[in-house]
Amino acid sequence: MRRVKIIGGAITKFGRHLDRNLKSLVAEAVNGALADAGIAKEQLQGAWVGNASQGVLQGQESIRGQVVLNPLGIVGIPVINVENACASSATALNGAWAMVALGEIEVALVVGMEKMFFEERSRVLPAFTGCMDVETLAQAMEAFKKAEEKIARDREAMGGDQKKKSGQRTVFMDVYAMGARHHMQKYGSTQRQMAVIASKNHFHSSMNPLAQYQTKFTVEEVLAAPEVAYPLTRPMCSPIGDGAAAAIIASDAFARKIGASHTVDIAACLLGSGEGGLATEEGTLTKLAKRAYEKAGIGPEDIDLAEVHDATAFGEMGATEALMFCPEGEGGLWAEAGHSTLGGKLPVNVSGGLESQGHPIGATGIRQVVEIYWHLTNRAGERQVRGAKVGLAQNAGGTVGGGPGALSVTILKA
């Protein structure tokens, strides 16, 4: 297996782009990545395109990558379309990495893309329910309903006020909320600790011009916000939006041949799927992380920064435990101690994460990787993690059998 490097990357601003189509967003990301790498489109030997929901949302099936790349003149090369829930573009990276590592090609394009925001919000919900086992979805929704009714009864019995509810939500917020309540009961973690994580990520995003949200929230403001599904309030949850990200990966020989200016090694690029368990992904993600650390020749103590899949603040709490950044059950305490904040022991989601950077689901995996790439090449601007040499990106997607449908762990080295 050959050494594989990232030699360029770009991300569009994530957000609500009602005036732009997917082709426009992809063009911005791809042209930016090519310019960053210092190569021409004619040098590409393959393209892997990750997208989760354009079939459901816009009826575009089968050849989504070809449709967005053809207008750019990227033709005549293999285009591989990858659909794997929120981990679609992380899975695309794995496929491109493997072909370069095996020596089949020298340089490849990896794209993640999604256009999810429409004025008619109900139009988007099937894109999320389709990331679950639809045959058991009715049973799951009944379980979520009963859980919420119990919470309401418990609050009433204790004389507590019913919080103002946020608007329409996706089913995954219920999944994460159930996982959060389980974690609170098992380990004594608190809603305030999740608010600390959300506040930290909104602070990080205030330094990220590409983030969907760039407004700071105090812990108290996070707690006071409308409730999505207890214990999650609106600032603890990722928004729906549009965006694209792209990276150029190449063999070490190709990178040297062209004199690439900014390169990092892909030290590990692994995929997995769930084995049950709640939204913490405990067990499954830890096994995958151990394999990634072994392949990269490092341990969790060697990671300088991480981008993890925080579709909710609880998602980050569980991921920091499963990735062994802190002991099991202590993700909330670890965040409260400031370890995951920029300038802390191991900054997590310095981009703002999914909660603030945004989560156009098919774009997130490669967006996380490009963010790490920028830090390792000292180009992250105001939010730069000083002296960063090793970074980790963790992505997850869908749910089946009570666990994640897709998982990825990617480790980059300067």
- 3-state class percentages of the chain: helix first, strand second, coil last, to nearest 5: 45, 20, 35
Which pLDDT score, from 0 to 100, does residue 155 have?
64
Residue 362 lies in a domain: yes
Question: Residue 146: inside a domain, yes or no?
Answer: no
Q: Is the pTM of this model over 0.85?
A: yes
Please give the C-alpha separations between residue 328 and each of 6, 91, 100, 217, in angstroms, as whole numbers. Answer: 33, 27, 36, 27
Evaluate whether residue 311 is within a structural domain: yes
From first to last of the 414 residues of the chain, give the pLDDT tens digit: 899 999 999 999 999 999 999 999 999 999 999 999 999 999 999 999 999 999 999 999 999 999 999 999 999 999 999 999 999 999 999 999 999 999 999 999 999 999 998 777 777 777 778 888 888 777 766 776 677 777 677 666 655 566 667 656 778 898 899 999 999 999 999 999 999 999 999 999 999 999 999 999 999 999 999 999 999 999 999 998 999 999 999 999 999 999 999 999 999 999 999 875 544 445 889 999 999 999 999 999 999 999 999 999 999 999 999 999 999 999 999 999 999 999 999 999 999 999 999 999 999 999 999 999 999 999 999 999 999 999 999 999 998 877 889 999 999 999
Between the two ends of the chain, the Cα-to-Cα distance in Å is 19
Q: Is residue 347 part of a domain?
A: yes
Residue 200 inside a domain? The answer is: no
Per the structure, the complete domain to which residue 63 belongs is given by 4-120+240-413
Q: How many of the other CB atoms lie within 10 Å of CB of 152?
A: 13
Q: Cite the active site residues.
A: 86, 359
To which residue do tokens 């929120």 refer?
86
> What's the pLDDT at 276?
58
Q: Is residue 199 part of a domain?
A: no
CATH number reported for the structural domain that contains residue 284 in this entry: 3.40.47.10
Q: How many domains does the chain have?
A: 1
Q: Is residue 403 part of a domain?
A: yes
